[in-house]
Structure 1
């Protein structure tokens, strides 16, 4: 698309070796690829700790949306993948702290596994920025 910007911002692990882009801004809409609990060097954060993983994921989403000119308040939609329904309460608790009012729409899916067995949560998101 001619009006799209493809970004792999510093501050999150570089996904390009895996063949995808972390952030695509198309007009005012920002599509953020599924983020996992990785630090900027690609190390797993919070192995076995759903809350710690979720917090790291939201840090990554914040870096991604800022690179596109927005903030977490601009997130309008999330899709969250968990490897078991027992992870849902921790995911919701962190989201509740970040969005005490006007939370984005969200979908929660339980999947059998993620790309790395150390991950129990993955969140993709969409934002609309000015």
Structure 2
């Protein structure tokens, strides 16, 4: 099985010792993304809807760098700081999966990198 590192300049650079994504065989593992602007490095977090769309934009950039799209996503993990934001996050997230949405879990956590409100990772299949 082949393994390659996927990097998109349109998504923020990792803020630690990890890759944006790793393609192992036909499966892409995308690291958790937060609402960092790739160009400025600034957080996009005026409200939870805007923050969620910025996270999804970063995921899309990484998927695209691997030649994939949201249609290839089979699993997502969503980490949120406040479960009261679940409905709003879900509404924004759902706009990226028009049919056959992936498997998913959503977990409330006490803290996320850079004190953001939402982080999302995904697994996609290139098949």
Range of TM-score over shorter length:
over 0.9
Of residues 56, 59, 62 in structure 1, which corresponds to 2:60? 62
User: Is 1:98 equivalent to 2:93 in the alignment?
Assistant: no
What are the ranges of 5 or more consecutive residues in structure 1 without an aligned counterpart?
none
What is residue 111 of structure 2 aligned with on the other side? 113
Mean CA deviation greater in 101-110 or 91-100: 91-100
CA distance in 2, matches of 1:46, 1:84: 14
Q: Number of aligned residue pairs: give it.
A: 126
User: For residue 25 of structure 2, what is the aligned residue in structure 1?
Assistant: 27
Matches within 5 A, 1:73-84: 73-84=71-82
Q: Structure 2: state its 5+ residue gaps.
A: none
Where does residue 50 of structure 2 map in the other structure?
52
Look up the match of 1:129. Answer: 126
TM-score (norm 2): 0.93
Structure 2: distance between partners of 1:91 and 1:79? 13
Q: CA RMSD in A?
A: 1.2
Q: How far 1:43 sits from its partner (Å)? A: 1.2
Q: Secondary structure at the match of 2:114?
A: coil
How far did residue 30 of structure 1 move? Answer: 0.3
Which contiguous aligned blocks of 4+ residues in structure 1 show a shift greater than 6 angstroms?
none
